[in-house]
Amino acid sequence: TRDWELLATCFAENLEADFRAFGGREVVKGRDAWVEIIKGTIAGLDATQHLTANHVHQIDGDTATLTAYLQALHRLDTARSDPEYTVGGYYVCNMVRGEENQNGGWRMQRYTLNVTWHRGNRDILRQAQRRLKSSA
């Protein structure tokens, strides 16, 4: 939906996002910083679809670990060649529940992407970032 405020509600304020397996240079610290990175990466694309499946939850009081398979499709209609890039793998998320969270709900505190395969044109991510910057 590209509702960045809604997306932010999935994460604890002190989030650590580890997407080094996807090309990130370091673990990103902070919910707001992470949402800005996501926005800068996908807002210039024409479509994205991130699917998760086979969720496994291990709950221990107000903390939990979530593991889920993922497939993430990215599309840029104006791409110079193949307009799609798809990534597969799994997420491991450390979750917290508590006062910071509305109604005691769960939020991701550490979010790790493990890439096991990919196909298509990864360059569309760079092209989409350039497109977004040129439209600003």
Residue 32 C-beta-side C-alpha neighbours within 13 Å: 0
Could you list the residue range(s) of the whole structural domain that residue 16 is in? 4-131
Q: What is the pTM (predicted TM-score) of this model?
A: 0.88
CATH of the domain at 102: 3.10.450.50
Q: 136 lies in a domain?
A: no
Round to whole Å and give the CA distance between 93 and 90: 10
Q: Where are the beta strands (DSSP E) in 6-132?
A: 11-18, 28-29, 47-60, 63-75, 84-97, 106-120
Number of domains in the chain: 1
Q: What is the mean pLDDT of each run of 10 residues along the chain (136 residues)?
A: 91 95 91 95 94 98 97 95 97 88 82 97 94 85
Bridge partner list, 111:
17, 93
* 99 phi, psi to nearest 5 deg: -65, -35
Q: Is residue 72 part of a domain?
A: yes
